[in-house]
Chains A and B, each alone.
Chain A
Amino acid sequence: MKPAAGEEKDPMARTERSPRYSLSHLKTLEAEAIFIIREVAAELERPALMFSGGKDSIVMLELARRAFAPARIPFPVLHIDTGHNFDEVLEHRDREVKRLGLTLVVGSVQEAIDRGVVREEPNGSRNRIQTAVLLETAEKHGFTALLGGARRDEEKARAKERVFSFRDEFGQWDPKSQRPEVWGLYNTRVHVGESIRVFPISNWTELDIWSYIEQENIEVPSLYYSRRRPVFRRNGMLFAVHRFCQPRPSEEVFEADVRYRTMGDATLTAAVTSDAATPAQVREEVAGTRLTERGATRGDDQVSEAAMEDRKKEGYF
C-alpha cells in the first residue's frame, strides 16, 4: 500500500494542469460506453444488441465494433421488425450486419399479429405491441441481456433508469426498487427467468450523438438529412408521404425541406422542417433546437404524462 521509493507521495503531485492528459467529453462518453459493452460480453451469458436502424442504435453498434476490434462483435443483433419500417432503414440494417459479419435475429410484429399473439392498436401504432414480440423473441433465443440504445435525456422515466436495468420474469421494470449502481461496478447477476437491459449510451444527449456521428464519420440513413419531400400536415406535425404514410383526402400535400429526427414507427413518425443536409449542419441545428426529439416527432408518446413509465413497466425498452 505504501508508494515505492522514488514515487511521489501525493498522487496528484505530477498532474498539475496538464491538458495533455485530458479527454474530451465525447471521448469520455465513448470510453464509458465501450467499458459497459465489454462488461456485458465478459459477464453475461447470452447477450444481444437491439438494433432498430435509428441513429442511437447505429452509434451503439459502432461503439460495440470499437469495443472488440479487431475481433468481431461477440453477440448477435436483434431487430424487432414492426412491419412499419422505412425501407432505407432496413437496407442500412442489412448492410451493417453484412459489413460487420454479424448474426441478425428478427422478431416480426406482423407475424405475431397474424398468429394472434398481439392485437393491432386502434391508432395503428406498433410501438406498444412490439414489447410483447421483443419479450417473446428474447425468450425463444434465450437472450438474458439486451443492449439498448436508449438515452436518459430522451424522456423523464428514462432519466431515472440504471445503466444495468433489471426486469422480472415478465420483463417488467420496477422503478421503486432499482439496484444501487456505484462507480463502474455493475452487478450483472440475475435469477433464472429474469433478464437485464443494458444502456451503454445512457449519458449521451441527442447533441452528443450528432457530434459523434460528425466527428467519427458514421453513416446513418439519409432520411436524417434534409431534402425536399412531399409532405402533409396532421395534428400540427409534418408527415412525409411514403408507403406507410398516406394523406387522407382532406390533407393537402405540398413540398417542403424536411428531415427526420427519430426513426420510430413509420406510420406515426413525423418529419421536421430543416435545412440541415450534412452531419455538421444537423449538429448545429440540434444545438439550437427548443423541442425534444420526442415532443417534435412522436405522435404516440404524448398520450399521457407518464406514458413512458407505464410502457417500461410493461417491459418496453
Chain B
Amino acid sequence: MDLLRLATAGSVDDGKSTLIGRMLYDSKSIFTDQLEAIERTSRDRGDDYTDLALLTDGLRAEREQGITIDVAYRYFATPKRKFIVADTPGHIQYTRNMVTGASTADVGIVLADARKGLIEQSRRHAFLVSLLQVPHLVLAVNKMDLVDWSEEVYESIRAEFVEFASKLQISDLTVIPMSALKGDNVVERSANMPWYQGAPLLHHLENVHIASDRNLVDVRFPVQYVIRPHQNRNQDYRGYAGQVAGGVLKAGDEVVVLPSGLGTRIAGIETADGPVEEAFAPMSVVLRLEDDLDVSRGDMICRPNNRPSVSQDIDAMVCWMGDSPLVPGQKLAIKHTTRTARTLVKELQYELNINTLHRNLEAVDLRLNEIGRVRLRTTSPLMADEYRRNRATGGFVLIDEATNATVGAGMIVGAE
C-alpha cells in the first residue's frame, strides 16, 4: 500500500474542513468517541446539524471563531491507499500555514463556493498550489446544494478556472462538483447531479497515479550526517547518512561529491536491515564510499555526468512569510537541503500579482504573504536544481537570524 499526501486550499468558508470531515465520516474513519464529542459541541452551540469541520478545527480559538487558523493533519486509509490529509486555513492572514500544508502534498484540492465562483483567494491558492508544484490539482466546486445542483453554474466556474489554470503550470487538473455538507460526490456519487459523468473525489484520490511524480533520473544525495561508530568492532567504518532526493543509486556507481568535485564509487548502500542493492527517493540510507574523501553534512553526492549547479548566485521565487518585509540588501540565513549558509538579497526583480499574474517591476519590498522573484548571493555555494525538476533540491527556506523565525519559502528558478 502506498501513501498519498493531500492538502486542501481555497477561500474562507468554502468548506475545506467540512469536506475533510465528510471524507473521514463517509469512509468510516471517525472513531465513535470523536464523533460523540463533536456532536455534543455542535448541539451545545445550537447548530442544526453536526458540524463536521470540528473534526479538524481542534483549537479552542478555531472553534470559537468557526475558522481554521493552522494546519491540522488527519489520517485515514482505504483498502487501496493510506492518506495524510492537511486541512489548511483559507484566511489570507494564515497563508504561511497553507503553504506549510501544501509544500509536501501530492494532491491539492482547491475549493470554490458555487455561489461565489472564483474569487481572489481561490485564484491565489490555485496559484500557490501550482507554484509549489503540487503534481495533481482538484478543483472542488462546493456547495452545489445551494445552487440547485445547477450544471450551468458548475460549467461556468469550470470554464473560468480552466482558462485561469492554462496560465499556470498545472500538469493534472480534475474538476468535481460536490456538496461537502451533504456528501454529494465526496465518497458516494451524487444522485442530485446525474449530469456529472466523472468519479467522486475519494475514487479519484484512490486512483490518481503518483509513483511517477518522483524524479528517478537525477541522482541527488544530500549528506545529512556522518556515521563514525568509534567502537572496536567498527574502527574504520565511515558512512554518510541521508535521504535520497532524486535518482536511483546503486552499489558500484561512480559518483562525485559536491562542491569539492572529487570522484569515487559507492562501496555499499546500507540500512539497519542490512545492505540494499539500490536506493531511491524517499529512502533514508547510509552510503559507504570506496575512497576516503573529506565529506561532511551539506555536501551533495551525485553522478559525474548529471550534476546540479554549484553556485552562490540563486534566482528564485519567494513566498514571503515574515511579519516585516523583505527588502534588497537584507541578510538572512538560508537552509537548502542539509546545507545552511547566509545570504544577501541582492535584488528584488518583481512582485507577482497573484490575481492577474502581472509582474510589478517597481516593487521595493515583499510583504507578508506576497510572492516575488529575487536574486540571492550566498556565502557558500548551493548545489541547486530548478524546483520544477526537483522539489527537494530546488526548495529552500529563509530564516531571520535575529528572531530565528522562518520568513520565506523559496523555489529555485535558476543558478549561474
Mark A residues whose CB is within 8 Å of B.
1, 3-4, 6-8, 11-19, 21-25, 27-32, 34-35, 38-39, 41-42, 65-72, 152-153, 155-157, 159-160, 162, 175-176, 178-185, 187, 189-191, 202-203, 205, 207, 289-292, 295-296, 305-306, 309
Name B28's closest neighbour in chain A (CB-CB).
Answer: A290
CA distance A65 to B229 in the complex (A): 12
CA distance A24 to B2 in the complex (A): 5
CA distance A13 to B216 in the complex (A): 9
Q: Is B213 an interface residue (CB 8 A)?
A: yes
Which single member of A14, A190, A291 contacts B404 (CB below 8 Å)? A190
Which chain B residues lie closer than 8 Å to A38 at the CB level? 224-225, 241-242, 284
Name A179's closest neighbour in chain B (CB-CB).
Answer: B406
Which chain A residues lie closer than 8 Å to B61 at the CB level? 175-176
Which single member of A1, A4, A185, A306 contacts B335 (CB below 8 Å)? A185
Which chain B residues lie closer than 8 Å to A6 at the CB level? 305
CA distance A16 to B217 in the complex (A): 12
Q: Establish whether residues A180 and B406, one from each chain, have CB atoms under 8 Å apart when the complex forms.
A: yes
Given A27-B283, A180-B321, A305-B37, check contact A15 B70 (CB 8 Å): no
Q: Which segment, of B117-125, B185-193, B345-353, B388-396, faces chain A?
A: B388-396
Interface string of B214-229 (1 = CB under 8 A from A): 1111100000110111
How many inter-chain contacts with C-beta < 8 Å in the A-B complex?
Answer: 220
Which single member of B97, B104, B211 contacts A19 (CB below 8 Å)? B211
Which chain A residues lie closer than 8 Å to B271 at the CB level? 66
Q: Is B354 an interface residue (CB 8 A)?
A: no
Q: How far is the CB of B245 from chain A (nearest CB, A)?
A: 9
CA distance A32 to B84 in the complex (A): 13
Which chain A residues lie closer than 8 Å to B82 at the CB level? 25
Q: Is B399 an interface residue (CB 8 A)?
A: yes
Q: Establish whether residues A292 and B34, one from each chain, have CB atoms under 8 Å apart when the complex forms.
A: yes
Which residues of B, 220-276, contact A by the 8 Å Cβ criterion?
Answer: 224-225, 227-231, 233-234, 237, 241-243, 246, 248, 271-272
Q: Is B414 an interface residue (CB 8 A)?
A: yes
Name A33's closest neighbour in chain B (CB-CB).
Answer: B284
Q: Establish whether residues B104 and A183, one from each chain, have CB atoms under 8 Å apart when the complex forms.
A: yes
Which chain B residues lie closer than 8 Å to A180 at the CB level? 96-97, 99-100, 321, 397, 406, 409
Q: How far is the CB of A238 from chain B (nearest CB, A)?
A: 16
Mark B residues whose CB is within 8 Å of A.
1-3, 31-34, 37, 41, 55-56, 58-61, 69-75, 77, 82, 84, 96-97, 99-100, 103-104, 209, 211-218, 224-225, 227-231, 233-234, 237, 241-243, 246, 248, 271-272, 280, 282-284, 286, 297, 305-309, 321, 333, 335-336, 338, 384-386, 389-392, 395-397, 399, 404-406, 409, 414-415
Q: Establish whether residues B58 and A187, one from each chain, have CB atoms under 8 Å apart when the complex forms.
A: no
Which chain B residues lie closer than 8 Å to A1 at the CB level? 308-309, 384-386, 414-415
Which chain B residues lie closer than 8 Å to A11 at the CB level? 215-218, 246, 389-390
Name B404's closest neighbour in chain A (CB-CB).
Answer: A189
Q: How far is the CB of A104 from chain B (nearest CB, A)?
A: 20
CA distance A179 to B214 in the complex (A): 27
30 A-B contacts (beta carbon < 8 Å): A1-B384, A12-B217, A16-B212, A19-B211, A21-B214, A22-B2, A23-B2, A23-B283, A30-B284, A34-B243, A38-B225, A38-B242, A67-B241, A71-B228, A72-B231, A152-B73, A155-B58, A156-B55, A159-B56, A160-B58, A160-B72, A176-B69, A180-B321, A180-B406, A182-B397, A183-B409, A189-B333, A291-B33, A292-B33, A305-B37
User: Interface SS of chain A: helix, strand, loop or mixed?
Assistant: loop
CA distance A15 to B390 in the complex (A): 14
Which of B2, B37, B58 is packed against the most chain A CB atoms within 10 Å? B58
Which single member of A7, A16, A71, A155 contacts B229 (CB below 8 Å)? A71
CA distance A33 to B204 in the complex (A): 28
Which chain A residues lie closer than 8 Å to B397 at the CB level? 180, 182-183, 185, 187
Q: Establish whether residues B230 and A71, one from each chain, have CB atoms under 8 Å apart when the complex forms.
A: yes
Which single member of B75, B228, B390 contacts A152 (CB below 8 Å)? B75
Name B282's closest neighbour in chain A (CB-CB).
Answer: A31
Which chain B residues lie closer than 8 Å to A22 at the CB level? 2, 211
Which chain A residues lie closer than 8 Å to B100 at the CB level? 162, 180-182
Q: How far is the CB of B151 from chain A (nearest CB, A)?
A: 34
Q: Establish whether residues A183 and B395, one from each chain, have CB atoms under 8 Å apart when the complex forms.
A: yes
Q: Establish whether residues A179 and B282, one from each chain, have CB atoms under 8 Å apart when the complex forms.
A: no
Given A12-B212, A71-B231, check contact A295 B34 (CB 8 Å): yes
Given A31-B283, A31-B284, A35-B224, check contact A182 B211 (CB 8 Å): no
Given A71-B227, A156-B72, check contact A14 B395 (CB 8 Å): no
9 extra interchain contacts, Cβ-Cβ under 8 A, other than A4-B307, A180-B97, A185-B395?
A28-B3, A28-B282, A31-B243, A38-B225, A38-B241, A159-B72, A160-B58, A160-B70, A183-B397
Q: Establish whether residues B217 and A291, one from each chain, have CB atoms under 8 Å apart when the complex forms.
A: no
Q: Establish whether residues B211 and A21, one from each chain, have CB atoms under 8 Å apart when the complex forms.
A: yes
Q: Establish whether residues B414 and A41, one from each chain, have CB atoms under 8 Å apart when the complex forms.
A: no
Which single member of B69, B229, B243, B284 contacts A70 (CB below 8 Å)? B229
Q: Establish whether residues B31 and A291, one from each chain, have CB atoms under 8 Å apart when the complex forms.
A: yes
A-B pairs, top 10 by smallest CB distance, nearest first, are A156-B58, A295-B33, A66-B272, A25-B3, A71-B229, A34-B284, A189-B404, A182-B103, A31-B284, A180-B96
Name A27's closest neighbour in chain B (CB-CB).
Answer: B283
Which chain A residues lie closer than 8 Å to B384 at the CB level? 1
Q: How far is the CB of B384 from chain A (nearest CB, A)?
A: 8
Q: Establish whether residues B335 and A35, one from each chain, have CB atoms under 8 Å apart when the complex forms.
A: no
CA distance A189 to B282 in the complex (A): 25
Which chain B residues lie closer than 8 Å to A13 at the CB level? 217
Which chain A residues lie closer than 8 Å to B69 at the CB level? 175-176
Which chain B residues lie closer than 8 Å to A31 at the CB level? 243, 282-284
Which chain B residues lie closer than 8 Å to A29 at the CB level? 3
